[in-house]
Structure 1
Amino acid sequence: MATATLNATDAEKINKLKSDVASLSQISENEKSGFINLVARYLSGEAQHVDWSKIQTPTDEVVVPYDTLAPVSEDAAETKSLLDKLVVLKLNGGLGTTMGCTGPKSVIEVRNGLTFLDLIVIQIESLNKKYGCSVPLLLMNSFNTHDDTSKIIEKYANSNIEIHTFNQSQYPRLVVEDFKPLPSKGNTGKDAWYPPGHGDVFSSLKNSGKLDALLSKGKEYVFVANSDNLGAIVDLSILEILKHLINNKNEYCMEVTPKTLADVKGGTLISYEGKVQLLEIAQVADEHITGESSTPDEMLAQVVNEFKSIEKFKIFNTNNLWINLQAINRLVQAGSLKMEIIPNPKEVDGIKVLQLETAAGAAIRFFDHAIGINVPRSRFLPVKATSDLLLVQSDLYTLNDGFVTRNPARANPANPSIDLGPEFKKVSNFLSRFKSIPSIIELDSLKVTGDVWFGAGVTLKGKVTITAKSGAKLEIPDGKVIENKDINGPEDI
């Protein structure tokens, strides 16, 4: 890691920023100092230089195949002992706005009237009941989701599960023109602020007091996952991972899974100068790549193509993370978790602003004996758009006791490719356009464009393209079977 010092101009910027931030009453002293530190690191030009020639493919000791893990015995006492060391933390800071919903994304109904949060609670509660243990659920909210989540979790008050919430940091957006915090310029609304990415989980866990409380109860490991990843289930199978980490004193573990062509932008694990670390495409497509090439442009094109290749980099980060709580405590107190900074430019009311973020996966290189575990693809089932919702609501999956399970009748290990037009983007519109979700067990790909409506009991097979002509409504009749067809009007059905 190269750390540059601030030049005189940037040092003056930081001093002015400190003065502006000091007067912001909406955030804590910890948030103020964390923000200033992040901006100072950004201005200093601190960056990690990746020498492409030094990148090595991790061995099985570094990225452990899941099927080589020792199974957990059927002894209920051992199971309880392992579960009592565990904490489950779901990243719950996101809103459902991209899918046309208000409030936290975790309360979107996934299937059978149950939300992401309902399914998570059911899973943990069943473990606690069965083994007499107490696995708590922590939700890291943002200022955007805190109030709604606090009300929503009241319905679980009588459940056999402890639910704790804490907020990730709230940082002011920076005005690009003069490097002032947006709230200092009269914008006092929510859009003047931002949550600085899930890399903030470590310091926020400590600053909230939750970390100390968990350690005092004898908790040892936290399992961190996105709340919208239906594959990040909490059941007995994950205890094989937990047992492996405890036995081998691994402070950090990232679940990775085989990469497909749909995952070309996902971060991957590499061995670099004797340590395991995350390589993101943002690190590839910038000036920090070093190595010999005839021109910088040729070098950049070469490494971007190699990064996206599923031959060179066969795995990607699911963002299912296992982390030792004592190690988090040690590294946060030492100020050692200096993850790569992700600049995220935005525009608020016509004003160009910058928000600086970090990712939790990038922290892997700071922990001792960090590893990856190459898990089955079933551990990665995110719902980012209504096209994903179509998959999980279809007959491709079943729901039992809070677990979304893939239908074994599907012969193809890959899921169908689904591309729905903007008419389906909002959840409410998506639901209204299907009398019932079609059968897609034998579907390879589906592309829908225009004003298309689906009847009940429709079956889609092979490659299907449905395009409604501009200004025309196209209805797929009840019970219709469509296989390997391009449909451009009623005459094609």
Structure 2
Amino acid sequence: MVGRTLVPPLDIPWSEVVFGHQRSPSMEFKELTKKDAQVQLTHELQKLSTTCPQPMRESVQLDFDGFEKLFSRFINESGPSVEWDRIQKLPDAAVTCYSELHPPEGSTIKELLNKLVVVKLNGGLGTSMGCQGPKSIIPVRSELTFLDLTVQQIEHLNKTYGCTVPLVLMNSFNTDEDTQKVIRKYQGFQVKTYTFNQSRYPRINKESLMPIAKTAGNDFDLEAWYPPGHGDFYQSFKNSGLLQEFLNQGKEYVFISNIDNLGATVDLRILSFLLQGDNSSKCEFLMEVTDKTRADVKGGTLIQYEEKLRLLEIAQVPKEHVDDFKSVKTFKIFNTNNLWISLKAMSQILDEGTMDMEVIINHKHLDNGLNIIQLEQAVGAAVKSFNGAVGINVPRSRFLPVKKTDDLLLVMSNLYRLQQGSLVMSPLRMFETTPLVKLGPNHFGRVKEFLRRFASIPDMLELDHLTVSGDVTFGKGVSLKGTVIIIANHGDRIDIPPGAILENKIVSGNLRILDH
């Protein structure tokens, strides 16, 4: 096999050409050279591309080209991407404290905002919270969805300062159709909305490392494809034509964040830091980080490595150093995934082909019993490809993600007030930190079930910690203070009565309130 590349006829599987019928897929693959594995993948992708309609061919080919590059790195890179002993101490100048930033002069705000593009990562579904469709259309506060709140925020900026900040949604094939229907209702708003789709990559069989898809057309099997993480933003943004369009409009920076992070609003101090004074356009990449707590021990962190800032994710950490990585003393900050990036630098790096992000190998088990691999990348991992990259240690209020109903309870409560689409901590809250909330997934994990269990959202202004497990319901006007733990054992039910005040209480056993 060495020195020549075998390309099988279109109708014969590669493994049969090389090995005949006697080997198992795993044995076959282990004996293939890396080069031949890539040849086989190319062949499989060519077969798939012939199954899609002509109008789709160009976009499908762009996706396949991107996937082949990712697969090549996956196949050819061996060993850890970071050697633990070579991690350097972060230089003092690497992370600036938010309190050191200055607000811009009022007369310059319009000019600054007109150089900004806001991008929201909108590829995720609401399945983890028991909802159908895009996560961004789940109501989170006063019947307003993540998307509603985002549009309100940007419209408020545009109206207040007379500027034209556009909103860009990066959708996936899972969310695009539903999102397109929803955004029609914003046509009368003072926000110009753009959308583009991230790539659609084929899931690969864990044993053979070949695509499990049979067709690539409109009738494709959803299980066989995946959106490859937010690291796909850069190339997909360029492929869509929007990167060049915004450069032509004179835009300079893009602010990227997850659409489910309700704290990720446009910040004028950070924008001024990037565009005015000593730093003017020198910083090509700014990552918002915040202090790590015990709830954030798995979050990626900034490190200095080979004289460059890098994002270190837990997946890159050798097993023997995972405890070090989780230590709040060793790594004090974590990445919020709020990123500010120079459009000009992004375009140049993509043109040069020097965008470098680690490959994340995501193992999944499908309902049909198949073990598959998804190859992904993280948008923040590109930090090492940019010059003058810095971190800004921002207040915790800029990191307010809603991943589970635990988070939803917080943002629906009186801990926050709604101001022009932004959630602001109530001044009546005595502490800057938010309470730690843990709701049992069996009874509270799905949004519909969660809402059914609260006659009204409890008063949580003085709450430190709430744990609820089992079949528990809350009456109207309940107040929770200090540490409250409510455990209904299997077969029991606890109804917290209307108007109850629970302060530093443990409630267990069985408490039923019946209508009569």
**TM-score greater than 0.5 by the shorter chain:** yes
Structure-1-length-normalised TM-score: 0.92
Partner of 1:429: 449
SS of the residue aligned with 1:184?
A: coil
2:495–2:511 contact (8 Å) kept in structure 1: no
For residue 14 of structure 1, what is the amino acid of its counterpart? Q
2:458–2:480 contact (8 Å) kept in structure 1: yes
Partner of 2:465: 445
1:257–1:315 contact (8 Å) kept in structure 2: yes
Give the Å deviation of 1:352: 1.3
1:47–1:340 contact (8 Å) kept in structure 2: no
Partner of 2:309: 276
Give the whole-Å Cα distance in 2 for the aligned partners of 1:162 and 1:188: 32
- Write out per-residue CA displacement over residues 31-61 of structure 1, whole angstroms, 9 at most, x where no aligned residue: 1111011111101125654333332332342
Partner of 1:12: 36
Give the whole-Å Cα distance in 1 for the aligned partners of 2:511 and 2:187: 55
Give the Å deviation of 1:307: 1.2
Partner of 2:354: 336
SS of the residue aligned with 2:177?
A: helix
Give the whole-Å Cα distance in 1 for the aligned partners of 2:39 and 2:453: 55
Moved more, 459-468 or 150-159: 459-468
Give the whole-Å Cα distance in 2 for the aligned partners of 1:247 and 1:61: 16
Give the whole-Å Cα distance in 1 for the aligned partners of 2:119 and 2:450: 30
2:475–2:497 contact (8 Å) kept in structure 1: yes
Q: Which residue of 216, 220, 226 maps to 1:188?
A: 220
Give the Å deviation of 1:248: 5.1
SS of the residue aligned with 1:196?
A: coil
Partner of 1:143: 173
Give the whole-Å Cα distance in 1 for the aligned partners of 2:271 and 2:301: 24
State percent identity of aligned pairs: 52
For residue 411 of structure 1, what is the amino acid of its counterpart? M
Give the whole-Å Cα distance in 2 for the aligned partners of 1:47 and 1:337: 20
- Write out per-residue CA displacement over residues 317-371 of structure 1, whole angstroms, 9 at most, x where no aligned residue: 0000000111111111222113111111112311111110000111000001111
SS of the residue aligned with 1:202?
A: helix
- CA distance 1:343–1:473, shift in 2 (3 Å): same
Partner of 2:190: 160
Give the whole-Å Cα distance in 2 for the aligned partners of 1:242 and 1:406: 27
Partner of 2:70: 38
Partner of 1:223: 255
- CA distance 1:474–1:192, shift in 2 (3 Å): same
Give the Å deviation of 1:246: 5.6
Give the whole-Å Cα distance in 2 for the aligned partners of 1:184 and 1:334: 34
Give the Å deviation of 1:130: 1.6
1:89–1:140 contact (8 Å) kept in structure 2: yes
Q: Which residue of 223, 240, 255 maps to 2:272?
A: 240
Q: Is residue 412 of structure 2 the alignment partner of residue 380 of structure 1?
A: no
Partner of 2:387: 368
Give the whole-Å Cα distance in 2 for the aligned partners of 1:272 and 1:177: 34
Highest CA radius of gyration, 1 or 2? 2
Q: Which residue of 436, 453, 459 maps to 1:417?
A: 436
Give the whole-Å Cα distance in 2 for the aligned partners of 1:263 and 1:16: 41
Give the Å deviation of 1:468: 1.4
Q: Is residue 118 of structure 2 the alignment partner of residue 88 of structure 1?
A: yes
Moved more, 223-232 or 323-332: 323-332
1:136–1:164 contact (8 Å) kept in structure 2: yes
SS of the residue aligned with 1:23?
A: helix
Give the Å deviation of 1:308: 1.0
- Write out per-residue CA displacement over residues 94-116 of structure 1, whole angstroms, 9 at most, x where no aligned residue: 00000011111011111011111
Give the whole-Å Cα distance in 2 for the aligned partners of 1:142 and 1:236: 30
SS of the residue aligned with 1:475?
A: strand
Partner of 2:20: none
For residue 93 of structure 2, what is the amino acid of its counterpart? E
- Write out per-residue CA displacement over residues 356-411 of structure 1, whole angstroms, 9 at most, x where no aligned residue: 00001110000011111111111100000000000011111111211100112222
- Write out per-residue CA displacement over residues 419-442 of structure 1, whole angstroms, 9 at most, x where no aligned residue: 111211111111110000111111
1:72–1:243 contact (8 Å) kept in structure 2: no
2:134–2:175 contact (8 Å) kept in structure 1: yes
Partner of 1:3: none
Give the whole-Å Cα distance in 2 for the aligned partners of 1:397 and 1:224: 23
- CA distance 1:272–1:44, shift in 2 (3 Å): same
- CA distance 1:233–1:223, shift in 2 (3 Å): same
- CA distance 1:138–1:46, shift in 2 (3 Å): farther
Partner of 2:416: 397
SS of the residue aligned with 1:384?
A: coil
**What number of residue pairs does the alignment pair up?**
471
Give the whole-Å Cα distance in 1 for the aligned partners of 2:160 and 2:428: 30
SS of the residue aligned with 2:504?
A: strand
Give the whole-Å Cα distance in 1 for the aligned partners of 2:161 and 2:200: 38
Gaps of 5+ in 1: 1-5, 287-299
